[in-house]
Amino acid sequence: MAPNWILISLFLCSFMAASSAGNFYQDFDLIWGDHRAKILRGGSLLTLSLDQASGSGFQSKRQYLFGRFDMQLKLVAGNSAGTVTAYYLSSEGPNRDEIDFEFLGNLSGDPYIVHTNVYTQGKADREQQFYLWFDPTKDFHTYSFLWNPQRIIFLVDNIPIRVFDNGESYGVPFPKRQPMKLYSSLWNADQWATKGGLVKTDWSKAPFTAFYRNFKANACVWSKGSSSCANNKSNAWQTQGLDANSRRRLRWVQKYFMIYNYCSDLKRFPGGRPRECRRSRF
């Protein structure tokens, strides 16, 4: 490539990133780990790292009550066993609501586990775990939460992997009153994360680093006790469910990539499965 071509493409790339995505300086605060959390490239890239002394983390400046949140992540590469990258929405205080992605690292070449959970009013125990259909350390991939009054959908590259329906009509609480912030942290969890804690973090490989870019929130922002959706560019997410094509893709993920579903773990619920498991088809 001629040098001026390189300059032009560099210019176009940075221009598109800035115009199509939020800016990490505007949207997030670095809250843990000092220099281990960094915002780079004018606000278009964020990195978290973990060493033997500490992990690191960030949180959104804003609180949200419903929305669609997309972030591209590139997870810790190489031997990431023992590390956990958590990416989640959470309210504050007791009886919190929380919607979680947690990425459990592994030895080089062995698969990450994507662990998901939903807390409603402080109660969780709703784990589902998946392998991915790609190597999440090679490139950036988009991980999304869609949260509206009817349901929560977890998506990976726009493919739904999990749906949690609003089950209030059959007595299951649903997160809809407590605003949430978006958080991410990279930490050491080698007492349980990899092969149930058998594989420990190899500190000779530290620091471990995860990368974030292209954050988009199409969401209702909570401020001073009320919610404003004025900046939602498209409000399709507010009523979005699964069309036939998404249902097909969800079934594909659940058939080939799901490795744990609390709803199928009968010995854990001797008194009968949780209500939402008896209702939901997924």
Ligand X SMILES: *[C@@H]1O[C@H](CO)[C@@H](O)[C@H](O)[C@H]1NC(C)=O
Closest by Cα among 237, 249, 234 to 282: 249
**Helix, strand and coil percent figures for the chain, each rounded to 5:** 25, 40, 40
* Minimum distance from residue 36 beta carbon to ligand X (Å): 22
The window from 85-93, 165-173, 224-232, 268-276 that contacts ligand X (CB under 6 A) reads 224-232
* Minimum distance from residue 194 beta carbon to ligand X (Å): 4
* Minimum distance from residue 214 beta carbon to ligand X (Å): 21
Instruction: Evaluate whether 88 touches 149 at the Cβ level (below 8 Å).
Output: no
The window from 26-34, 104-112, 141-149, 263-271 that contacts ligand X (CB under 6 A) reads 104-112
Number of helical (H) and strand (E) elements in the chain, helices listed first: 4, 16
104 binds ligand X (CB under 6 A): yes
Q: Encoding tokens for residue 134?
A: 């790609």
Specify the residue, 1 or 230, whose C-beta has the smaller distance to ligand X.
230
The window from 3-11, 139-147, 226-234, 244-252 that contacts ligand X (CB under 6 A) reads 226-234
Q: Which of 79, 106, 201, 209 binds ligand X (CB under 6 A)?
A: 106
Cα separation, 187 vs 184, in Å, equals: 10
Looking at residues 110 to 139 of the shown chain, list those that interact with ligand X (rule: CB under 6 A): 110-111, 113
The window from 19-27, 47-55, 181-189, 230-238 that contacts ligand X (CB under 6 A) reads 230-238
Q: Which of 229, 242, 258, 263 binds ligand X (CB under 6 A)?
A: 229
* Minimum distance from residue 113 beta carbon to ligand X (Å): 4
Specify the residue, 132 or 153, whose C-beta has the smaller distance to ligand X.
132
The window from 28-36, 189-197, 203-211, 244-252 that contacts ligand X (CB under 6 A) reads 189-197
Specify the residue, 70 or 276, whose C-beta has the smaller distance to ligand X.
70
Instruction: Evaluate whether 266 touches 273 at the Cβ level (below 8 Å).
Output: yes
200 binds ligand X (CB under 6 A): no
Beta strands in 35-171 (DSSP E): 37-40, 45-50, 56-60, 63-74, 83-90, 98-104, 113-119, 128-130, 141-147, 151-156, 159-165
240 binds ligand X (CB under 6 A): no
Question: How many positions of this chain bind ligand X (CB under 6 A)?
Answer: 13
Q: Encoding tokens for residue 171?
A: 């007595």
- Residue number of the CB closest to ligand X reads 229
φ, ψ for residue 35, nearest 5 deg = -65, -5
Specify the residue, 185 or 194, whose C-beta has the smaller distance to ligand X.
194
Specify the residue, 159 or 199, whose C-beta has the smaller distance to ligand X.
199
φ, ψ for residue 166, nearest 5 deg = -70, 115
Cα separation, 192 vs 113, in Å, equals: 12
Burial of 267 (0-12, 13-18, 19+ CB in 10 A): exposed
238 binds ligand X (CB under 6 A): yes
Cα separation, 90 vs 234, in Å, equals: 23
Cα separation, 82 vs 99, in Å, equals: 22
Interface residues with ligand X (CB under 6 A)? 104, 106, 110-111, 113, 193-195, 229-230, 232, 235, 238
